[in-house]
């Protein structure tokens, strides 16, 4: 192991990087010095290095608390590629395998051990830790400690035992998603009042955010994948298991390698499907929004939502699984008012206390406001987390194709009046039918064709009226009545609009044109065709090596490292060692193999006369 304390030497020799990113260096110094830290850093921002590197610089074994077996396996596999002595203790191990890991912990033959909070809290495991020399505790996904977070895990609240029982061992808690109430909860619940907090910013500039109204969701998804991400890895989120299965089957029939993934599958089947996603290129996983996948795959080129997630935190974490390698990626979502109705009904029907339900309603309102905003999406998203972007990002649908606004006061008055006159108990679909003079049996039976608001909305199309209703709900002028099966009723401020005391500005519903720059953005890393050909050859070699070892290709090298190989074309091991992500272990294991591929693609010099 590199001498303790020489953090930059470990960074270069083990992980293959010449310098830290952002606040990584300060965080590493704090933990090496034995101090507690709370780290908020965007997904893909390099959180793991903040505890992995100190674990190699401090004496003893580092214990990493992680909530997901899949994530543990991924991290351990990647660390071993770097030559780091890492292991995981979880239910997938046999009794004998677990015993070997525990013995290695006692003898100091491991640098990092990953464990779930449920196992860590058992008395046998705590007694095992009593017998070990401990370098640090890392509490990953620390937002799980908070009931205000989006993935509450009760066991996380008992992790204060680490501080009480091992008072001299530094702790570092890490998360990518925590608003102000969640941060406060983390500090209180983990007893981190004396810890230094690092907030590294939440921006992921390589991700392009896009939101569209649901029209024909499957056709919209198919067009998005076919035109912009054909053959690339992606994740599609749906609200229900049934929709996950149907969507995955439909995508497969369209010629895409798509697989379903949700908690209803048998354990071995989930593991097999996740393994395929991690180890093959270009696989699309369709998953339930409620199921946390713990994906650490860096080359996910898109995350698509066919239904609304539950909150801005959930949206941010789920979209953050795209583009972890820093290359261009897309966060694409379609939604409709029915999504809002379903999520509100789910929240109201839960057994949560009223205070928590109120918080969940506020979180959903914030997400709806994000969907209907006419401002830069990235600015709205970052402001939610207390971060600030001084100028519009230029890399979201609002910036690329700015929406037009119009004086929607009259349209709003018609919509609100029709909701009122139909009894404040019907959904948007029926109210729009009335506004457009529909001749449905329901309208005739209820006598709604005799209302003053019948057939007064011909100036707007059905899609345009849907947009009006979505925006009025986002503004709070209309409220979804969950108790009334999703009917709409007037909200606060609606009467001011009806009386003409308040003007309403609305966004025009337009069909957004695809910006040319979005096509194959993930692949457009190399402009030179020869470099691109070499890049594909390097990927083929990486896949060959990965299959031989039974590991995901990206734990050998990320696409970004292969792209640098193709650009720089190093001629020997010394030059190869200077590439980002090439430490000593990977140089020894893979340098010659990749140099052979590079050499085979070097242009042949013309001979003399």
Domain CATH code at residue 178? 3.40.50.300
pLDDT value at residue 292: 55
Q: Does one domain contain both 317 and 428?
A: no
pLDDT tens for each residue of 368-423: 889 988 899 999 999 888 888 999 999 999 999 998 889 999 999 999 999 999 99
Alpha-carbon distance 444 to 70, whole Å? 56
Domain boundary among 400, 419, 448: 400
CB atoms closer than 10 angstroms to residue 227: 12
Domain boundary among 376, 400, 424: 400
Q: Does one domain contain both 135 and 38?
A: yes
- Structure token pair of residue 7: 């953090």
CB 177, CB 309: distance < 8 Å: no
Q: Does one domain contain both 157 and 213?
A: no
Q: Which residues pair with 135 in a beta bridge?
A: none
Is residue 515 situated within a structural domain? no
Is residue 195 situated within a structural domain? yes
Q: Does one domain contain both 299 and 440?
A: no
Q: Does one domain contain both 187 and 218?
A: no
Q: Does one domain contain both 58 and 150?
A: yes
Is residue 40 situated within a structural domain? yes
Under DSSP, the state recorded for 195 is S
Is residue 513 situated within a structural domain? no
Q: Does one domain contain both 227 and 181?
A: no
Q: Does one domain contain both 284 and 192?
A: no
Task: Output the domain CATH number for residue 420.
Answer: 1.10.10.10
Is residue 607 situated within a structural domain? no
Task: Output the domain CATH number for residue 554.
Answer: 1.10.150.80
For residue 443, give every residue at least 6 positions away whose Cβ sits within 8 Å of its Cβ, in sequence order, or none: 430, 433, 434, 449, 454
Domain boundary among 400, 431, 455: 400
- What total number of domains does the chain contain? 4
Is residue 93 situated within a structural domain? yes
pLDDT tens for each residue of 501-548: 999 999 887 654 444 344 445 444 677 888 999 999 999 999 999 999
Q: Does one domain contain both 128 and 256?
A: no
Integer CA distances (angstroms), 490 to 153, 417, 472, 507, in order:
37, 9, 10, 20
Q: Does one domain contain both 188 and 217?
A: no
Positions in the chain whose pLDDT score sits under 70 = 1-5, 147-151, 290-295, 482-485, 510-525, 603-609
Q: Does one domain contain both 269 and 344?
A: yes
Is residue 524 situated within a structural domain? no
Domain of residue 480, residue span: 405-507
Q: Does one domain contain both 535 and 583?
A: yes
CB 447, CB 190: distance < 8 Å: no
Q: 3-state class of 545 per DSSP?
A: helix
pLDDT value at residue 294: 59
């Amino acid at each position: 192991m590199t001498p303790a304390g020489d953090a930059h030497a470990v960074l270069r020799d083990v992980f293959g990087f010449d310098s830290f990113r952002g606040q990584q260096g300060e965080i590493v110094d704090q933990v090496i010095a034995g101090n507690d830290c709370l780290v908020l850093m965007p997904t893909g921002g390099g959180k793991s290095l903040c505890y992995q590197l100190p674990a190699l610089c401090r004496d003893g074994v580092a214990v990493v608390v992680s909530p997901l077996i899949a994530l543990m396996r991924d991290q351990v596999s990647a660390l071993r590629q770097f030559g780091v002595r890492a292991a995981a203790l979880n239910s997938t191990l046999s009794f004998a395998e677990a015993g070997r890991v525990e013995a290695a912990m006692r003898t100091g033959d491991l640098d990092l051990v990953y464990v779930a909070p449920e196992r860590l809290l058992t008395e046998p495991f705590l007694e095992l830790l009593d017998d070990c020399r401990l370098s640090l505790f890392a509490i990953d996904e620390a937002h799980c400690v908070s009931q205000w977070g989006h993935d509450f895990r009760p066991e996380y609240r008992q992790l204060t035992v680490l501080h009480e029982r091992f008072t001299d061992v530094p702790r570092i808690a890490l998360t990518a998603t925590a608003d102000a109430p969640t941060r406060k909860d983390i500090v209180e619940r983990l007893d981190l009042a004396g810890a230094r907090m690092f907030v590294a910013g939440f921006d992921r500039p390589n991700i392009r955010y896009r939101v569209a109204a649901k029209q024909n969701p499957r056709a919209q998804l198919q067009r998005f994948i076919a035109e912009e991400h054909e053959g690339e890895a992606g994740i599609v989120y749906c609200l229900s298991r049934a929709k996950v299965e149907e969507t995955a089957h439909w995508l497969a029939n369209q010629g895409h390698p798509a697989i379903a993934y949700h908690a209803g599958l048998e354990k071995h089947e989930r593991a097999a499907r996740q393994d395929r996603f991690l180890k093959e290129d270009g696989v699309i996983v369709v998953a339930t929004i409620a199921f946390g996948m713990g994906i650490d795959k860096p080359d996910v080129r898109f995350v698509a939502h066919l239904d609304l997630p539950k909150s801005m935190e959930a949206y941010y974490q789920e979209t953050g699984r795209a583009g972890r390698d820093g290359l261009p990626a897309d966060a694409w979502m379609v939604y409709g008012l029915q999504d809002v109705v379903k999520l509100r009904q789910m929240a109201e029907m839960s057994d949560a206390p009223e205070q928590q339900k109120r918080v969940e309603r506020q979180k959903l309102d914030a997400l709806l406001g994000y969907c209907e905003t006419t401002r830069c999406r990235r600015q709205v998203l970052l402001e939610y987390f207390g971060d600030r972007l001084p100028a519009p990002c230029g890399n979201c649908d609002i910036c690329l194709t700015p929406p037009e606004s119009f004086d929607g006061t009259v349209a709003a008055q018609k919509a609100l009046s029709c909701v009122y006159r139909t009894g404040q108990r019907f959904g948007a679909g029926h109210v729009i039918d009335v506004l457009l003079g529909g001749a449905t049996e329901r309208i005739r039976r209820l006598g709604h064709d005799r209302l003053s608001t019948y057939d007064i909305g011909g100036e707007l199309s059905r899609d345009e009226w849907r947009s009006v209703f979505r925006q009025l709900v986002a503004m709070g002028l209309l409220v979804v009545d969950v108790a009334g099966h999703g009917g709409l009723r007037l909200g606060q401020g609606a009467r001011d609009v009806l009386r003409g005391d308040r003007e309403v500005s609305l966004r025009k519903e337009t069909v957004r044109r695809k910006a040319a720059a979005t096509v194959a953005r993930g692949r457009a890393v190399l402009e030179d065709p020869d470099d691109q050909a070499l890049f594909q050859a390097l990927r083929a070699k990486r896949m060959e090596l990965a299959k031989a070892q039974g590991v995901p290709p990206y734990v050998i090298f990320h696409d970004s490292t292969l792209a640098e190989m193709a650009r720089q074309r190093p001629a020997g091991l010394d030059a190869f060692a200077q590439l980002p992500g090439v430490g000593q272990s990977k140089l020894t294991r893979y340098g010659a193999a990749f140099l052979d591929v590079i050499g085979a693609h070097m242009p042949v010099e013309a001979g003399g006369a």
